[in-house]
Every structure is written in C-alpha cells, then in structure tokens.
Structure 1
C-alpha cells in the first residue's frame, strides 16, 4: 500500500513539491551561511518525494541528546527559516492539501501535505525515519518517562 501511495503521490504533486524543496536547498547552499537550511531542505525534499511509510522526528527525540540543530541555534535558525522560505513552502503544501481534499481519494494525500506544511515551518533539527523507528523511539521515551514516574 505504501508503494502505491508513494507512486500516486509522486506523480500527482510530490515531485513538484520535492523539487521546490530542493530549489530552496540549492539557494541556501549558494549563500554558504544557509548550508544548515540547505541540508534540511534536501532531507525534507527527499521525504516530500515519497512520504508514505516515513515520519519526521526531532533528532533530539531520536538520539536522546541535543545537537547544534536541536538547541538554541536551531530555534534561531527555524525562526529565520520561517521568514525567508518556510512560510512559502507551507503555503504551497496547504494549497496542495486543499486541492487533494476535494476528492475522497485525495484525503490521505491532503493529510501528508498538512504534515509537510508543519515541517516546512521548522525543518532544522528534524530528520526522516521509517514509521517503525519513530514509533519505537516514542515508545522507548514513554517507557523511560513512566519508569521515572514510578520511582
């Protein structure tokens, strides 16, 4: 089912939005200062090509430790990102979601566009993993929190 969803997604708009992400990534890399944003653009752009079966997750949540993109600098980077490119990518995904939601068959695609719109507002510090890895990470973190509460 994921394969079919990804193929339909790719043909009916995922390809365009992925290219737009990569376009912003190329622009960011050209500025040199924008390399962290460019890296995020390429990761999320790849995700935008084939999103079914994958999720974005904070690297801090995944790895259990902070890095430069998940701390204060990442927050500042995401604020700058929203003002420069994030809002435009979010608008593109929201418009695509509305177009997809006009048909019953398009509703799952609209949901994916909404998820990508949220990610487009704060991509720095995020990574893409399979649904299974994201679920296992969240389960593990929940188990750790529950153990802390019980002791």
Structure 2
C-alpha cells in the first residue's frame, strides 16, 4: 500500500515539491555560508519525493545552532516551501483518492519550516535517530 501511495504521490505532488526543495538546496549551496541549509533541503527533497513509509524525528545531536538556523531558514525559504505544501494540498483534498495525500502534504509543513535538527527515518524504526 505504501508503494502505491508513493507512486500516486510522486505523480500528483511529489515531483513538484521535491523540485522546489532541490532548487532551494542548490541556491543555498551556491552561497557557501548556507551549505548546511542546502544539505537539509536535499534531505527533505528525498522525503518529499517518497514520503510514505518514512517519518521525521528530532535529531538527538541538534544544538542551539540548529534553532538559530531554523529561524533564518523560515525567513528565507521555509515560508515559501510551506505555502507550496498548502497550495498542492488543496487540490488533493478535492478527490477521494487524494485525501491521504493531502493529509501527508500538510504533515510535511513543520519539517519544511524547521528542517535543521531533523532526520528522516523509516516508520518501522522511529527511534533509529537515537541509535536504537
């Protein structure tokens, strides 16, 4: 079932959202100071491309710098990516088959706003970030 949802997601929303994250990551990597933002953006692009069967957890090694970085990220790119999630979620809710995809899209908004200090792990191993 996860594979079917991921394929439908990829066609209806995943490719466009992942492209937005990749563009944000490329721009961040061009500016040398913001390379950590670019790496986080590429990580979230992979999650936006194939989200079902994976989840986002807090990284146990994230410190105060990730909080500072998240504030900068929200102002520079996070708000635009979150708006992209809302805009793509609305048409997904129109059809019956798109409702789970719209819900997944809205669940991705927190990580699009605050990507630093997060890890993407399989849903069957939610404590993988903690070494378990």
TM-score w.r.t. length of structure 1: 0.82
Q: Which runs of 4+ in 1 moved over 3 A?
A: none
Q: Which residue is equivalent to 2:39?
A: 39
Q: Which residue is equivalent to 1:110?
A: 102
1:74 aligned to which of 66, 80, 102: 66
Query: C-alpha distance in 2, partners of 1:94/1:24?
Result: 17
Query: C-alpha distance in 2, partners of 1:94/1:50?
Result: 18
Aligned length: 129
2:123 aligned to which of 126, 131, 142: 131
Structure 1 segments unaligned to the other structure (5+ residues): 61-65, 141-151
Tell me which protein shows more helix as a share of its residues: 1
Q: 3-state DSSP class of the match of 1:133?
A: coil
Q: 3-state DSSP class of the match of 2:108?
A: helix
Larger radius of gyration: 1
Question: Aligned-residue CA RMSD in angstroms?
Answer: 1.3
Deviations 1:51-89 (A, max 9, x none): 0000011111xxxxx2xxx21110000000000000000
Query: Does 1:120 pair with 2:112?
Result: yes
Query: C-alpha distance in 2, partners of 1:103/1:39?
Result: 34
Q: Which residue is equivalent to 1:144?
A: none
Query: C-alpha distance in 2, partners of 1:30/1:76?
Result: 20
Q: Flag the structure with more relative contact order, 1 or 2, with Cα contacts below 8 A and sequence separation at least 6.
A: 2
TM-score w.r.t. length of structure 2: 0.94
Pairwise CA distance, 1:41: 0.5
Q: Which residue is equivalent to 1:3?
A: 3
